[in-house]
Chain A
Amino acid sequence: MKSRKFKQNLEDKSKESEQNFKILLENLPQKIFLKDKNLVYISCNKHYADDLKIKLDEIKGKTDYKFYPKKLAEKYRKDDKKIMKAGKTVDIEEEYIKDGQKLFVHTVKTPIKDRKGKIIGVLGIFWDITKQKKAEEKLLYFKKAVEESSDAIGMSTPKGKHYYQNAAFDKLFKLSVTEVEGKKGPAASVYADEKVGREVFKTIMGGNSWTGEVEMLAKGIKIPVLLRAYPIKDEKGEIIGLIGVHTNITERKKAEEILKKTNEELKKLDKIKSNFLNIVSHEMKTPLTAINAHLGVLDDLKTNLNEQELLSLGAIKRNNYLLKTLIDNILELSRIESGNFELNLSNINLERIIMEVKSNLEILSEKKGLQLMINVGKLPEVFADEMRIREILNNLISNSIKFTDKGWIKVGAEKKDNHVVIRVIDTGIGIPKNKMNNLFQKFYQVDSSIGRRYGGTGLGLAITKQLIELQGGKINVKSVYGKGSTFSVLLPINNHILKGGAK
């Protein structure tokens, strides 16, 4: 009785344990199957059946050929045979097809033995590792990128123990792996200034990144480096590692240094040039003043000069004047070109300025028997440099007088949209078409004999153009050779650019 009860108990227990074991198998996330020695499925757990899209009991009596492409099925069976032959458990990663998609699985296959130790089948457990595999693959890209980077990259633990550096790191710091591994950070990458090193370490250990140019030592030699240092944090935000990316900026620093030196030298040269021009022109002006003054004295002497004396005096006067203008023009142009030039801007009355310039130049035009006419309508005030506008008008009108022997010079001005257009029109010798392009070039004269015949430095129009453009304006010229020329100056009324820049 007792023994039967015991047996019953034992059977119950055994059944219960079998039941428990089944539940356990069912609920394991892994896929589990059992094959006999002919590699025919005996059973599997629910996860595997679900994967194969069959019911739990449908697997019995089937082989891999039923569920997998031929090639894959053959591979699985070959593995199974090997395992049974060797009698050893195999642990592999392999391909797997589910719903026509290629996945990766981790498989553990074990041969099953009967009580006598004879192998009677195979137990397989496998699980999907596709995600992990993909992540690993992705990591390979990053790894390659880091390994091949031309930046020297080093990684260490939060305590500063080195555990990785790429090839560029070895090259930059002239180290080998064995020299670095396990050593504290500063042993591998030494800051020329320890204070900086401490600052960097403190910053990244505080959870922030640090970027800046530092000097580091490679076997005692200083190298300028652009350092970007970052903490690596886990999901909880805890720092689990440190990364330093070092760019060797030796070449850049050298280039910067050269550029800086060149700039300094250019500045020096520029200063020397303008000093030289200043000194020369001032030194030239002193004797010129004496000549000029004595020419004035000669004028006052009311003695009768003969024709030749008058001619010579005239030539001296003309050339004295030319020399004076030349010095002024060269000085002015060099000031404009060196940027050492300030505009004195205000709202100016163009009408008044044109009339004033006219009255100054009237003597000249009268001397040549030319009519100087002004035709100025009502004009708005223009934001410009009065003295420079006067100079521009003076240059253009006196130019017209100079190159006109018969007829008239008309000066007109009118408002046109946001501009004022000033025109200086003459009935002078005009400009040949092929000389128009060079008209505003320095030291350019349409005809080399003109300098002698009409006087002039060849700088007047070059300066005029620069002065107009400096004030945001434009100058144009139209001419018919032998008949006359028209110079048009376009000045902006409300010069926003100049206004923005003016204090």
Chain B
Amino acid sequence: MKNILYVEDNEDTADAVKIILENQGFRVDIGFCGKDALTKASQEKYDLILLDIMLPDMSGWDIFEKLKKKDHFKFAFLSVIPVSIERMRELKKAGVADYITKPFEKEDLIKRIKKIIGE
């Protein structure tokens, strides 16, 4: 079973995404802030870390920067901030698997997550 860490400070959204992805057969942990996420990432091996950008203690970028060197996680962002095609290319070059904008379509989210860590 693939392991996902979803870092999101909005509990309602976190709950829903957890259920949606678990319905697809993934195991999902939630990190409610940067500190929480970093602790969890040090204890567990995740196949994918799904990051919100605006978090109460640090940004999703910071978490990405801190974790990308240490382990072989895959990373994706899930954010309300839209990105340009160009920025998207840069992010992919930097090692970000995908960038999904909120609000997302359930089917689209599942399709893209499966593309990153499909069975």
Q: Name A's B-contacting residues (CB within 8 A).
A: 282, 285-286, 288-297, 299-300, 324, 342, 344, 387
The 10 A-B pairs of least Cβ separation, nearest first, read A293-B16, A296-B106, A290-B12, A292-B103, A285-B80, A289-B102, A289-B103, A290-B13, A294-B16, A282-B80
Q: List 9 extra interface pairs beyond A289-B80, A290-B13, A293-B13, CB under 8 A.
A: A282-B80, A291-B103, A292-B102, A293-B106, A294-B16, A295-B106, A296-B20, A299-B106, A300-B23
Q: Determine the chain A residues whose CB is within 8 A of the CB of B20 once the complex forms.
A: 293, 296-297, 300
Scan residues 1-59 of chain B and give those whose CB is less than 8 A from a CB of chain A: 10, 12-13, 15-17, 19-20, 23
Which residues of the partner chain B approach A342 to less than 8 Å between Cβ atoms?
A: 84
- In the assembled complex, B81 has its CB within 8 A of some CB on chain A: yes
Q: Is the C-beta of B65 less than 8 angstroms from some C-beta in chain A?
A: no
Asked if B19 and A289 make an inter-chain contact with CB atoms under 8 angstroms apart, the answer reads no
Nearest Cβ in chain A — how far from B42, in angstroms? 28
Q: Are A290 and B10 closer than 8 Å at their CB atoms?
A: yes
Q: Any chain A CB within 8 A of the CB of B85?
A: yes
In this complex, what residue of A is CB-closest to B109? Answer: A296
- Contact assessment for B103 and A285 in the assembled complex, using a CB-CB cutoff below 8 Å: yes
Task: Determine if A344 and B106 form an interchain contact, defined as CB atoms under 8 angstroms apart.
Answer: no
16 A-B contact pairs sorted by A residue (CB < 8 Å): A282-B80, A286-B10, A286-B13, A290-B12, A291-B103, A292-B102, A292-B103, A292-B104, A293-B103, A296-B16, A296-B20, A297-B19, A299-B106, A324-B103, A344-B84, A344-B86
Task: Flag if B85 contacts A344 (CB, 8 Å).
Answer: yes
Complexed CA–CA distance, A293 and B85 (Å)? 25
Residues of chain A lying within 8 A (CB to CB) of residue B84: 342, 344
Please, how many angstroms separate the alpha-carbon atoms of A290 and B104 in the complex? 10
Q: Could you give, for residues 103-119 of chain B, a 1 whenever the CB lies within 8 Å of some chain A CB and a 0 otherwise? A: 11110000000000000
Which residues in B have some Cβ–Cβ distance to A below 8 Å?
10, 12-13, 15-17, 19-20, 23, 80-81, 84-86, 102-106
Residue from B16, B80, B85, B86 within 8 A of A286 (CB atoms): B80
In the complex, which residues of chain B have a beta carbon less than 8 angstroms from the beta carbon of A282?
Answer: 80-81
Most buried by B among A293, A295, A300, A342: A293
Q: Considering only CB atoms, which chain B residue lies closest to A291 in the complex?
A: B103
Cα(A286)–Cα(B104), bound, Å: 11
Residues of the B chain whose Cβ atoms lie less than 8 Å from the Cβ of A288: 102-103
Chain A residues near B103 (CB-CB < 8 A): 285, 288-289, 291-293, 324
With the chains together, A415 CA to B105 CA distance in Å?
A: 36
A289, A292, A300: which has the most chain B beta carbons within 10 Å? A289
Task: Pick from A294, A300, A344: contact of B12, CB below 8 A.
Answer: A294
A324 to B13, CA, bound (A): 16
Residues on A with beta carbons closer than 8 Å to the beta carbon of B15:
294
Q: Check A286–B19 contact: CB distance below 8 A.
A: no
Choice from B10, B19, B85 contacting A300 with Cβ under 8 Å: B19
Q: How far is the CA of A294 from the CA of B11 in the complex (A)?
A: 12
Chain B residue, CB-CB nearest to A385: B85
Q: How far is the CA of A324 from the CA of B105 in the complex (A)?
A: 11
Judge whether A289 and B23 touch: CB under 8 Å.
Answer: no
A293 touches B17 (CB 8 A): yes
Residue among B15, B16, B19 with most chain A CB within 10 A: B16
Q: Which residues of B contact A291 (CB under 8 A)?
A: 103
| A289-B78 Cα distance, complex, nearest whole Å | 10
- Identify the closest chain B residue to A332 (Cβ): B82
Minimum CB–CB distance from A296 to chain B (whole Å) comes to 3
B104: A residues at CB distance < 8 A: 289, 292-293
Q: Which B residues touch A293, using CB under 8 A? A: 12-13, 16-17, 20, 103-104, 106
Write the chain B residue with the least CB distance to A295: B106
A46→B8 CA distance, assembly (Å): 118
Contact, CB under 8 Å: B106 / A289? no
* Most chain B C-beta atoms within 10 Å of own C-beta, residue among A295, A297, A299: A297
The smallest C-beta distance from A336 to any residue of chain B, in angstroms, reads 14
Most buried by B among A288, A291, A300: A300
Cβ contacts under 8 Å, A294 to chain B? 12, 15-16
Could you tell me the distance between the alpha carbons of A452 and B23 in the complex, rounded to whole angstroms? 33
- Judge whether A289 and B10 touch: CB under 8 Å: yes
Bound complex: CA A344 to CA B85 (Å): 8
Interface centre among A282, A290, A299 (most CB of B within 10 A): A290
Instruction: Give A344 to B15 CA distance when docked, in angstroms.
Output: 37
Residue of A nearest to B12 (CB): A290
**Which residue of A has the minimal Cβ distance to B80?**
A285
Q: Which residues of A contact B10 (CB under 8 A)?
A: 286, 289-290
Rounded to whole angstroms, the CA-CA distance of A26 and B95 in the bound complex is: 111
Q: Are A285 and B86 in contact (CB under 8 A)?
A: no
Contacts of A285 in B (CB 8 A): 80, 102-103
Q: In whole Å, how far is A253's beta carbon from the nearest beta carbon of chain B?
A: 42
